[in-house]
Structure 1
Amino acid sequence: MTLWTPITVGAIELPHRLAMAPMTRDRSRPDGVPTDLNRAYYRQRASMALIITEGTQPSADGQGYLLTPGIYTEAHIAGWQEITSAVHAAGGRIVVQLMHTGRISHPDNTPHHRRPVAPSAIQPKGAMFTTSGLQDMPTPRALDINEVADVVDEFRHAASAAIAAGFDGVEIHGANGYLVHQFLAGNTNQRTDRYGGPLENRIRFAVEVASAVADEIGAERTGLRLSPGNPFNDIAEHDTRDLYPALVTALAPLNLAYLHLIHGGDEELLRELRQLWPTALLLNRAGTDIDMRVADLDAGLADVITVGTTALANPDLPARIRSGAPLNQADPATFYGGDHHGYTDYPTLAATLA
């Protein structure tokens, strides 16, 4: 069965092809330093082929939500070292997802309490949870062209910090309406300089970030996540069918370790991107069962499949699937914030049988 066939993704050797997708859990310290609880959570899931961490801010400007981790200070590095060491000791592999939220933020949630930054000064729809409750997200400040280069360097620095923290690699979050995605989409990027307008300009930031990270830590340890056509976080793409083939074609020469796609339902586009991408393709077909996801492996549409809430609720998911055991059901009420409930207390199969 293809699911259990080992594969090498860039520099990372995976024992099988079932990976854990990144999921925000809001359980780090207020200063972004991971905790012992975070360490227990990730260690429990070390039997996954690869763990992709929750979105982790590469800078103070990159933070959007409360209690998300960072990877840009010495304290962050030290905190993550405890986690990567625990995962490796348990036989696992782990990469950090670098997530700059851009305009999806609120000053109350950041260390410096400044206005969020974005490609253009366009206020997002929706509210953000803060310590004072739900508040409208403010109109962000548009980055000037020199600041765009500074943000690219923030990703570079964070990638270097990630390797110092013991991670096996880095995944750049270019999906779900956050900063990289905001540069791609026409409704969030209305710039008139070389980063805005035609799609060859709108893809420039994503390519520059990927190039900078690959240059810093090696392409073989660099991945990128995309979500073609995803309207999450007030994104409206008017040219998805042209945008993503152009982006993937521009990224292909970098020879990154992998591309991680969130499938939005366009099967034709998925097949086109599969053909264009030269290295490993990780596929997240959210909302479908394991059998359908395994079929993507068998059909050659994906090299690795990623699962989110199923891995969240089943710390020993590979063992459960191998044995045909029933799966724990995830509790959405405990997804974001809180203590160990709904985080590290999901039972293993061995505990259930005992």
Structure 2
Amino acid sequence: MGSFGNSCSGEKTQDDDAIIPLLTSYRMGHFLLSHRIVLAPLTRCRSYGHVPQPHAALYYSQRATYGGLLIAEATGVSDTAQGFPHAPGIWTHEQVEAWKPIVKAVHDKGSIFFVQIWHTGRVSHTAYQPGGRAPFSSTNKKANGKCLMPSGTEYDDYSQPRALETEEIPLVVNDFRLAARNAIAAGFDGVEIHGAHGYLLDQFMKDGVNDRTDQYGGSLENRCRFPLEVVEAIAAEIGPERVGIRLSPFGSHSDSPDSNPEALGVYMANALNKYNILYAHYIEPRVKTSMTTLETNESLASARKAFKGTFLVAGAHTRQSGIEVIESGGADLVAYGRLFLANPDLPRRFKLNAPLNKYARETFYIQDPVKGYTDYPFLDEGHDALVGKEQKKHVRCPFLEEDEQS
């Protein structure tokens, strides 16, 4: 594969008349990316019984390009991690084996494939928990809002959580470590730790949630201790060159605000440097919740300056805003959610500045293995098509799913 280095200077390939910054190549650690357009992790609710399914191989391979980076949907690290219907897991042998042909299908297209691993914490319900037990968190404060139940059609209030005991935290760190080991066993090139959007690690980082009085609460350093222990354990297990993390310091998803989000973002960037991880994936400050995107003067510039590895951004980016953020040096890579979901050939469409398919929101979280999943047309099949024309009840994810902000 040819290389442009890390320049956005507008160099040309043999088949390009003019190359846009999003389509310049980039070296991310030992991975040479052919472009800077990344598939954001998107919960799709098609992993029946939390086991990845064969149709996911088609879905991901459709969006794979030679030298492209894909990040697989949020994937549970344990049987306590779930909070959404038919989200995949990676804690059992069956799940690992089910991921293998999916990863192979992506690798056969020449793409780099990471998997996002998560624990939802209090953003869950007893119906998802082993033995119907309470979900756990940094706190015993209940999250407001409604949880989409295992049926995929019914809602209920989030369940009352319990605060993790201090001595339990190393056990959860180990769950993340083992999930990362399993990801490599499944063939993934690396893992992205989900530390954003009001899920468990974010519940520890944010002072609007964390009310602990032990070494995991109070100061910024204490609140970030657990997420950094996860980073350290995973980096030691699979190598820091295979580790990324997603953060949303400015977000307040699922009642997870912070009183000083810029300080949180910078602190984490500096702390992550100590582990030499591959990348940090930050959500733009304009994305406040799954329902809210606002204009703001807040910026990721200080975190970008502090972090020494590859810097990804996500959050309602368009082709033009992606060009601008790369051109200005605001990020190295840009992750796209809804646009990539609806346009499996998004890099090609961006290259040609071609029209984009419209996404069918009502199909985002249904369990159909085709509709709104693998039936979005490629450019040469016709464009501006809307899949899922049969009107179904719109199921909106009660958490911040990446298709709501990327």
State whether residues 137 and 164 of structure 2, in contact with CA within 8 Å, keep that contact through their aligned partners in structure 1.
yes
Partner of 1:44: 62
1:151 is the counterpart of 2:180: no
Quick one: structure 1 residues 255 and 52, their matched pair in 2 at CA, closer, same or farther if it must change by over 3 Å?
same
Quick one: structure 1 residues 62 and 106, their matched pair in 2 at CA, closer, same or farther if it must change by over 3 Å?
same
State whether residues 285 and 298 of structure 2, in contact with CA within 8 Å, keep that contact through their aligned partners in structure 1.
no
1:58 is the counterpart of 2:77: yes
Quick one: structure 1 residues 297 and 75, their matched pair in 2 at CA, closer, same or farther if it must change by over 3 Å?
same
Q: Which has the higher helix share?
A: 1
Tell me how far apart the structure 1 counterparts of residues 62 and 382 of structure 2 sit (CA, whole Å): 15
Tell me how far apart the structure 2 counterparts of residues 215 and 39 of structure 1 sit (CA, whole Å): 29
Tell me how far apart the structure 2 counterparts of residues 351 and 269 of structure 1 sit (CA, whole Å): 39
Partner of 1:33: 51
TM-score normalised by structure 1 residue count: 0.96
CA shift at 1:37, angstroms? 1.3
Deviations 1:242-279 (A, max 9, x none): 22212221111111100001101365541111110001
Tell me how far apart the structure 2 counterparts of residues 207 and 134 of structure 1 sit (CA, whole Å): 33
Paired residue for 1:270, among 296, 300, 323?
300
Per the alignment, in what secondary structure is the counterpart of residue 282 of structure 1? strand
CA shift at 1:188, angstroms? 1.6
Per the alignment, in what secondary structure is the counterpart of residue 254 of structure 1? coil
State whether residues 174 and 180 of structure 1, in contact with CA within 8 Å, keep that contact through their aligned partners in structure 2.
yes
Partner of 2:220: 199
Matches within 5 A, 1:1-354: 1-30=20-49, 32-47=50-65, 49-131=68-150, 133-265=154-286, 269-284=299-314, 286-339=315-368, 340-352=370-382
Tell me how far apart the structure 2 counterparts of residues 241 and 302 of structure 1 sit (CA, whole Å): 17
Superposition misfits of 4+ residues, deviation over 6 angstroms = none
Tell me how far apart the structure 1 counterparts of residues 41 and 253 of structure 2 sit (CA, whole Å): 16
Tell me how far apart the structure 2 counterparts of residues 186 and 216 of structure 1 sit (CA, whole Å): 29
Letter in 2 for 1:102: G
Quick one: structure 1 residues 269 and 327, their matched pair in 2 at CA, closer, same or farther if it must change by over 3 Å?
closer
Letter in 2 for 1:342: G
Greater Cα shift, 208-217 or 238-247: 238-247
Tell me how far apart the structure 2 counterparts of residues 268 and 115 of structure 1 sit (CA, whole Å): 36
CA shift at 1:93, angstroms? 1.4
Tell me how far apart the structure 1 counterparts of residues 265 and 201 of structure 2 sit (CA, whole Å): 13
Per the alignment, in what secondary structure is the counterpart of residue 8 of structure 1? strand
Tell me how far apart the structure 1 counterparts of residues 305 and 353 of structure 2 sit (CA, whole Å): 33
Tell me how far apart the structure 1 counterparts of residues 238 and 86 of structure 2 sit (CA, whole Å): 27
State whether residues 294 and 305 of structure 1, in contact with CA within 8 Å, keep that contact through their aligned partners in structure 2.
no
State whether residues 61 and 109 of structure 2, in contact with CA within 8 Å, keep that contact through their aligned partners in structure 1.
yes
Structure 1: unaligned runs, 5 residues or longer: none
| Seq. identity, % | 42
Letter in 2 for 1:278: K
CA shift at 1:338, angstroms? 2.4
Greater Cα shift, 302-311 or 101-110: 101-110
Per the alignment, in what secondary structure is the counterpart of residue 61 of structure 1? coil
Tell me how far apart the structure 2 counterparts of residues 288 and 281 of structure 1 sit (CA, whole Å): 15
CA shift at 1:52, angstroms? 0.7
State whether residues 11 and 221 of structure 1, in contact with CA within 8 Å, keep that contact through their aligned partners in structure 2.
no
Deviations 1:164-204 (A, max 9, x none): 00001000000000001000111221110000011110011
Structure 2: unaligned runs, 5 residues or longer: 1-19, 287-295, 384-406
CA shift at 1:2, angstroms? 2.4
Tell me how far apart the structure 2 counterparts of residues 20 and 293 of structure 1 sit (CA, whole Å): 13
Quick one: structure 1 residues 267 and 214, their matched pair in 2 at CA, closer, same or farther if it must change by over 3 Å?
farther
State whether residues 284 and 299 of structure 2, in contact with CA within 8 Å, keep that contact through their aligned partners in structure 1.
no
CA shift at 1:17, angstroms? 0.6
Quick one: structure 1 residues 187 and 92, their matched pair in 2 at CA, closer, same or farther if it must change by over 3 Å?
same
- The CA RMSD measured in Å over matched residues stands at 1.4
State whether residues 60 and 112 of structure 1, in contact with CA within 8 Å, keep that contact through their aligned partners in structure 2.
no
Tell me how far apart the structure 2 counterparts of residues 282 and 318 of structure 1 sit (CA, whole Å): 16
Deviations 1:208-230 (A, max 9, x none): 11111111111000000001210
Deviations 1:112-144 (A, max 9, x none): 432111011111001111146211111111111
State whether residues 86 and 150 of structure 2, in contact with CA within 8 Å, keep that contact through their aligned partners in structure 1.
no
State whether residues 96 and 167 of structure 1, in contact with CA within 8 Å, keep that contact through their aligned partners in structure 2.
yes
State whether residues 175 and 226 of structure 1, in contact with CA within 8 Å, keep that contact through their aligned partners in structure 2.
yes
